[in-house]
Structure 1
Amino acid sequence: MDLIEWNDFIKVELRVGKIIQAEVFEKARKPAYILHVDFGHDLGIKKSSAQITKHYQPDALIGKLVVAVVNFPKKQIGPIQSECLVTGFHDENGDVALCVPDLDVPLGTKLL
């Protein structure tokens, strides 16, 4: 594990957002969803591709709070541009479980 400096960590904008739309990413090489995540007034709605199909169905994702990196440059993933990176952890089978706050917090709140 590489050690980082505090100044490296504070550059990463990890923010809370709410999934407002989720759809199957038909053109993805691996099973994925296209997520539309609302980060509140200042950051707005950002799109992301997420390979979370093993544990989640699109309808069940609506309204879920997630933690995402919002200051990466946009990344072209097939026909869409991903504007944020929704975070998660691999389970024992290698499938992704979302990283979520356990209480409601305002949209756009930065991880401390």
Structure 2
Amino acid sequence: MVTLRPLTLDDAPALQRVYSGASVRYTTGKALTLDQAEKKIRTALARAAKYVVTFTFTTAGLDRVEAMHHPANPASGRVLTKAGFTRTGTSDQLAEEGTAVPYQVYSLPKR
């Protein structure tokens, strides 16, 4: 089985290289800038979050979705908010060194 990790803004330079190749220039007429690559990542993450929510409420039949993110990654919170989630608090998660890290918790009830 292959497990893909989510895209992050750190992937923007690689995405820029991929979308700056000859085939992209042929189709769009110009290479992708770093800002455009970052915007594509943010758009893709928001779209993916909305698809997960739709699947959860329709196919899986659940009544509520919860998500959390590391406090050092506020961009994930913005993606969740854009997808309709509301911040509900924090949840201490153990880091590798055994210390508690207060992850930000979000929820979205079925409407």
TM-score by length of 1: 0.22
The higher radius of gyration belongs to: 2
Query: Bigger relative contact order, structure 1 or 2, given CA contacts below 8 A and separation 6+?
Result: 1
TM-score by length of 2: 0.22
Looking at secondary structure, tell me which structure has more helix per residue. 2
